[in-house]
Structure 1
Amino acid sequence: MFRVTTTLATTLLLAGCTTLGQPYVAPSVDTNARYGTAVAGGAKSVTANTMWWRAFNDSQLNALIEAGLKQNLTVAQAVERVIAARETAAASGIGLPTGSASGSAAAEGNSAGGDVELNRSATATLNWEIDLFGGLAKRREAAQASIDAATEEANMARLTLIGDIATAYVEARGYQDRIHIARTTLESQNQTLALTRKQNEVGVVTRLDVTQLAGDVASTAASIPALEISLNESIHRLGVLLGQQPSALKSMFAAATQIPRLSGSVQAGIPSDLMRDRPDIRKAERTLAEAAANIGVAQSDLYPSLTLAGNLSVSSSTSWSLGPTLSLPIFNRGALQATVRLEESDARQAYLAYRETVLEAVEEIENALVGFSKQQARRSELAKSYTSYSEATDIADDLYRAGDTTLLDLLTAQRSLYDARDSLAQSSVAVATQYIILCKALGGGWNISGATTAESRS
């Protein structure tokens, strides 16, 4: 009785030990109070639940993004990794008792006759590790952090997908607009070529004028196939992003529409918002939390472990046993201490990676703010250029038809107008693309209200 009492007293004493490791607190990273580039007043802020793409007022783009979030295969894979992480944690059974049971029955007899004996037996075992120093709690903490990191990776996939769909759509509409510009220019050039040939027949212009203009016509015509290639590539990209065949969305682009234009601007918020809105930063923080928990796990292995074990056996007689088993690390203590130092090194690496992720996110936003602002300014100047060249071309065309200027002057005006229109179209795409880059850098849209995901249903 004295031995049992002493064992129970020791068990109670150990159970009162303090949990190892300090409570984890997410670290803060010093950032500036505001970004270096300001945006126009009255702009809307972008957060994780902001559907920023609706600023384009394009119902087709809205529908594509909604479908992509449900159908994209990369996102689906990321969601499955979240489910796998949860099931892995559940399968490990951290802190839960383990046990088994078995039974048998057999009839025995012999050739000499006599009674047949029926032998039956059953056994059951149970083992339950007591969390003396918080090692099991730290294991659960690490497992949850791993699940959280996988969840943030899925959020990263959603954020990337939204940006990719919006970019591919804007580029496709841009190529359609540039094809329209090229065809309109080609039609105008063909009309001028027909007039020039008539003038050549009556000796007003030379054969050189005709061949020069014919060369311009061929050059403009040659630009169209290259643009059509790029258009089809963008359409095919959209199809795959939606988890469909590459050519599945061609009917959507059978008729051209204008390049999506913004109905407002965007407010970048403050750098500290990134900790809340950027999935990559959230993932880096969860990876750090997992590494910190693993330090506690390694530290707990340096201390005694206690397991309650029970056994029950029933056959012709019944026997049972129940009691604690105490294990002490002695000869492998040096290896266990090295494991602690290894986990501490991993945690320091995770912290440095977290800091780097934050700084790179701020850099990305600073670059996007500058790019968005400068692309808007560039488009404004290109619009003025297009207006001037359009007026100049009308004047040159009237003068040429009246015989008051040379064909060279008209060709120069037409080339300048074509270049100005094409540059303006490209600039419109660049402004929209830079807006997409900025909103993506701000972590906007991956957590839109009402979104349903497989990992949340799991």
Structure 2
Amino acid sequence: MSWATAHSGFNVIRGLIFSILMLMQSGCMSVTPQSFETAAVTVPAAWSAADGVAKAGNASLAQWWVRFNDPLLANLVSQAMLTNTSVKSAQAALRQARALRDVSAAALWPTLDSSASAQRGKLGNNSAVNKFTTGLDAAWELDIFGANRSALETSEATARASAASLGDVQVSIAAEVALDYITLRDAQARLEIAKNNLASQQETLQITQWRLQAGLITSIEAEQARTAVEQLRAVLPGLQTNIEQTSHALAVLTGQPPAALLMQLAVVQSVPEVANDLALSIPAETLRQRPDVRASEHEVAAALGRVQQAEAARLPNFRLSGSLGLNAMTLDTLTNGASLVSSVMADISMPIFDAGSRRAQVRAQQAALDQTLMTYKTTVLTALQEVEDALVALRGDRERLLRLEDATEAAGNAALLARQRYSSGLVDFQVVLETQRAQLTTQASKASARADVSADHVRLYKALGGGWRPDDNDVPPTPIETPSRSSRL
């Protein structure tokens, strides 16, 4: 092909592109939705259950587990962030999403391939003939109606959703580690309470046996005392089992074999507590800090991009391609100007009849968008409920702890007086049994209430976003809008 012919071909392509641009300017082929309706969720101005629980403010919750002043807890959470299998899986999913985004971005650019070949052939009795070729092939799909741009926007939204999902996994794992750790320390505290009460009841059993030998009581009281001791002993194995199983759970959460932390966690420590100085952000700001809500927002953006892709698939597709190469019989003549071969081509493809397949694909993607919107609304409402529930639970458990502290003090005094008076023969054994049972129950309830308050703080920190912050690339998505029913096909 001569250079004049190639130049003429470029003129044809230039004229074709000019016609396409003029057609786009007329607006008759735009796939941009013509009207929108906002998919809003009503968010309250303030938390209804925050009175007396936390003050208004916007304190950072980053690394909230440090607030418990427990170095071992902080170390376990940090280790889980590095080695937990769910976190690593979410990180791999994020890498995949970002790689697919780069694939979509590359589709906006031309492609250039190179090739080279050497061939030797012979026909009949003729002499062998050599053929050498080398060249470059270029192609570019003109994204006239934005199909590739919509694909890129969809991939970008998916990548942002994956980044937020990683944050959601990290927030959940940190909370799960903290809750299991509190459960373990609570079980250890209740085990110590049971052992202390067992020692007290064994002393009572000894007193009962002395009184039986002296003929001051019958064997009924002695058997009742022995029953109380054995019943309390039966509680100890269950508490120890709970401690070891929770240790196994913590080890797995930190990416270790189940028995890896048994020795480290065997050292008894008190339930970690946090100061009551939490500053609550307003509901709207809380929703922006929750990774699951942000992930759901980006999923909506991705679904909207898929609708636009389906719309663009119904419109013409334009493609430019060309090649430039050398073709010669010998290597010496390969660089000769006469061996130059060039071609250029422009093609257009347009769907004419598909039995309604592409139109149905648009409706399918629109329905998927509607589902994603409902999922987003559910996520927002669930987030609001989780915060309100955590605030209610924290307020109730604080009140319960105050009452149980008073009850525990009274029960301890009653048990001490009953044992002293029983030793003096002033009360019968039933009074001793009742006071000892009440003491054990109130002490265990107080320990559980203290653990519940700490656990309530963990759940509240998680509900408020768990200290997650989007990185600089995770900008807030545009207001969620969907095509109106009148513009749907």
Normalised TM-score (structure 1): 0.91
- Residue from 381, 395, 403 that aligns with 2:403: 381
Matching of residue 163 in structure 1 with residue 175 in structure 2:
yes
Counterpart for residue 10 of structure 1: 16
**Residues of 2 paired with 1:10 and 1:84: CA distance?**
38
**Residues of 2 paired with 1:252 and 1:448: CA distance?**
34
| Structure 1 residues 401-412: aligned runs within 5 Å | 401-412=423-434
Alpha carbons 1:29, 1:358 under 8 Å: kept? yes
Alpha carbons 1:20, 1:135 under 8 Å: kept? no
How far apart are residue 419 of structure 1 and its match?
Answer: 0.7
- Residue from 90, 97, 100 that aligns with 1:85: 97
**Residues of 2 paired with 1:330 and 1:245: CA distance?**
61
Matching of residue 324 in structure 1 with residue 346 in structure 2:
yes
Q: Percent identity?
A: 26
**Residues of 2 paired with 1:288 and 1:27: CA distance?**
10
How far apart are residue 221 of structure 1 and its match?
Answer: 0.3
Unpaired runs of 5+ in structure 2? 1-6, 329-338, 472-489
Matching of residue 21 in structure 1 with residue 27 in structure 2:
no
Alpha carbons 2:164, 2:470 under 8 Å: kept? no
Distance 1:298 1:112, change over 3 A: closer
**Residues of 1 paired with 2:88 and 2:53: CA distance?**
39
Matching of residue 132 in structure 1 with residue 144 in structure 2:
yes
How far apart are residue 43 of structure 1 and its match?
Answer: 4.1
Matching of residue 236 in structure 1 with residue 258 in structure 2:
no
Counterpart for residue 389 of structure 2: 367
Distance 1:411 1:3, change over 3 A: closer
**Residues of 2 paired with 1:84 and 1:267: CA distance?**
37
Distance 1:400 1:249, change over 3 A: same
**Residues of 1 paired with 2:286 and 2:363: CA distance?**
31
- Residue from 199, 202, 207 that aligns with 1:187: 199
Unpaired runs of 5+ in structure 1? 450-458
**Residues of 2 paired with 1:80 and 1:6: CA distance?**
48
**Residues of 1 paired with 2:160 and 2:188: CA distance?**
42
Structure 1 window deviating more from structure 2 (73-82 vs 13-22): it is 13-22
Distance 1:45 1:175, change over 3 A: farther
Counterpart for residue 116 of structure 2: 103
Per-residue deviation, residues 170-201 of structure 1 (Å, max 9, x unmatched): 00000000000000111111111112111211
Distance 1:333 1:8, change over 3 A: farther
Amino acid in structure 1 at the alignment position of 2:385: E
**Residues of 1 paired with 2:122 and 2:400: CA distance?**
101
Alpha carbons 2:212, 2:222 under 8 Å: kept? yes
Structure 1 window deviating more from structure 2 (235-244 vs 333-342): it is 333-342
**Residues of 1 paired with 2:340 and 2:14: CA distance?**
25
Per-residue deviation, residues 89-117 of structure 1 (Å, max 9, x unmatched): 33453213234332222456799998x75
* Partner SS, residue 315 of structure 1: strand
**Residues of 1 paired with 2:345 and 2:271: CA distance?**
76
- Residue from 267, 291, 295 that aligns with 1:255: 267
Alpha carbons 2:9, 2:344 under 8 Å: kept? no
How far apart are residue 402 of structure 1 and its match?
Answer: 2.0
**Residues of 2 paired with 1:392 and 1:252: CA distance?**
38
Structure 1 window deviating more from structure 2 (408-417 vs 212-221): it is 408-417
**Residues of 1 paired with 2:176 and 2:74: CA distance?**
13
Q: In the comparison of the two structures, how many residue pairs are matched?
A: 448
Alpha carbons 1:50, 1:448 under 8 Å: kept? no
How far apart are residue 395 of structure 1 and its match?
Answer: 1.3
**Residues of 2 paired with 1:349 and 1:448: CA distance?**
25
**Residues of 2 paired with 1:276 and 1:332: CA distance?**
44
Alpha carbons 2:155, 2:302 under 8 Å: kept? yes
How far apart are residue 3 of structure 1 and its match?
Answer: 8.0
Amino acid in structure 1 at the alignment position of 2:346: P
Amino acid in structure 2 at the alignment position of 1:330: I
Amino acid in structure 1 at the alignment position of 2:420: D
Per-residue deviation, residues 240-279 of structure 1 (Å, max 9, x unmatched): 0000011111122222111112222433322212331111
* Partner SS, residue 258 of structure 2: coil
Normalised TM-score (structure 2): 0.85
Alpha carbons 2:112, 2:138 under 8 Å: kept? yes
How far apart are residue 15 of structure 1 and its match?
Answer: 3.7
**Residues of 2 paired with 1:399 and 1:338: CA distance?**
87
**Residues of 2 paired with 1:48 and 1:331: CA distance?**
58
How far apart are residue 408 of structure 1 and its match?
Answer: 1.6
**Residues of 2 paired with 1:70 and 1:192: CA distance?**
52
